[in-house]
Amino acid sequence: MDERHELGQAGEQAAVDHLVSKGYVIIERNWRFGHKEIDIVARDRNDLVVVEVKSRNAPVLELPEQAVNRTKQRFLISAANAFVRYRRIPLEVRFDIIYVVYEKGQPRISHIRNAFYPIL
């Protein structure tokens, strides 16, 4: 397993731990729809939360919300729509980004709720 993949897996686990500590219920991890993937699907009260996790080894100049570009947003929206239809989930969908930066081996987590909205 390469270092980037290991970093991604560690970041996703740190994100799951963070969400669970905040009372979220994890429904699915790494859910695939064709070539599109949702890192984490969780429930936060009456919201279905689609979470994109970005992990970095050291601080970088990009802001967490810049890590998920418009193309990635469209992929996530498409995958979320498929997930909701497939599972027949009657909840509002929210899109969050969790940005995990490792400094001296310790994760620092930024959680952006409602990071973007589906364009109608």
Q: Residue 97 burial by CB count (10 A; 0-12/13-18/19+): exposed, middle or buried?
A: buried
What is the predicted pLDDT for the residue at 120?
56
Per-residue pLDDT averaged across 11-36, rounded?
A: 96
Reduced to 3 states, what is the DSSP secondary structure of residue 32?
strand
CATH topology classification for 3-116? Trna Endonuclease; Chain: A, domain 1 (3.40.1350)
Do 15 and 29 touch, CB atoms closer than 8 A?
A: no
The Cα–Cα gap between 96 and 103 comes to 22
With bands split at pLDDT 50, 70 and 90, how would you rate the model's confidence at 91?
Answer: very high
Q: Which tens digit of pLDDT belongs to each residue from 97-119?
A: 999 998 888 899 999 999 998 87
pTM above 0.75, yes or no: yes
| 86 pLDDT above the threshold of 70 | yes
**Residue 73: partners with Cβ closer than 8 Å, 6 or more residues away:** 95, 116
Residue with more model confidence, 106 or 63 = 106
Question: 68: how many CB neighbours lie within 10 A of its CB?
Answer: 19
Per-residue pLDDT averaged across 49-70, rounded?
A: 83
The rounded mean pLDDT for the chain is 91
Residue among 49, 47, 46 nearest 18 (CA)? 49
Give the E-state strand segments of the chain in sequence order.
25-33, 36-44, 47-56, 92-103, 106-116
Give the start-to-end residue ranges of the domains of the chain: 3-116
What is the predicted pLDDT for the residue at 6?
86
